[in-house]
Structure 1
Amino acid sequence: MRAEWQAHIDELLQTYQEKRRQIQDMQSRLETVEASAEAADGMVRVKVDRQGRLTSLEFDPRVSRRLGSEELADAVMEASKKAQADVADQLREAMQGLAPEGGPGQGGGFDLAKLLPERPDDIEAVRQRLGIQPQ
């Protein structure tokens, strides 16, 4: 194989490995995404995880004197939707240009590392496809 081709292949493999590491790092950071929101003038506070699941729900001690059960339910739903929208925005922003449609923030939960597998195609198969023969 010509030396310049081998150098180019080596450079591509190095770039591939760096991008894969960056994706793995991003996956780790995205796992900690969460958001909080309030409703009913701060009487209801919620926290959701990166998948929009409710992880915390707090009520101001005065909530039972100020809100009826229907209003309380509406406030919980409002705060939850706000927090879920915030999480979706955070994920979309972090993944802009990288994740396929339907990914994080859109009901996703896929493994980012799968965008780039552990190893690229077998180098010999790549060489054969490209018509590059080892010297």
Structure 2
Amino acid sequence: MKRLLFLLVTFTALLPVHAEKPAWVCAIEWSEEKPEWVFVYEDVKLQADGCYRIFIKWEFTDDPEKSMAKQTWLISPDFDMVKVVKSVGYGKDGKVAYSDDEPYGDWSYVLPETFAEGVVNTTKEILLTR
């Protein structure tokens, strides 16, 4: 009996653990007024300073120069402010079209009915599902 229990515990420990890979969550869907999609990556990071580091993906359908951009944002602990710390745009061919560090300067307040509000609300939803 001891040997059977030992084997069971040993083999259970050897079973591979399959964690779900984080996915992109749609924050803003395409519309006539806003002809792009905005996604937030589920893997939200809480930094030591209390800010949340998130990854954003933009998809453009009507821009002849670029088809996608990825950004790194910081969200303040109280969710009132955001800061874009990195932005990389990709052309239709998949090559990097531009790359900027802190392209919009310092922190800015989240305004109602903006892309930033959609991103912050989606980030809150992601955090609530953890």
Q: TM-score, normalised by structure 1?
A: 0.39
Q: Greater RCO between the two (CA within 8 Å, min separation 6)?
A: 1
Based on CA coordinates, which of the two structures has the bigger radius of gyration? 1
Name the one with the larger helix percent: 1
Q: TM-score, normalised by structure 2?
A: 0.40
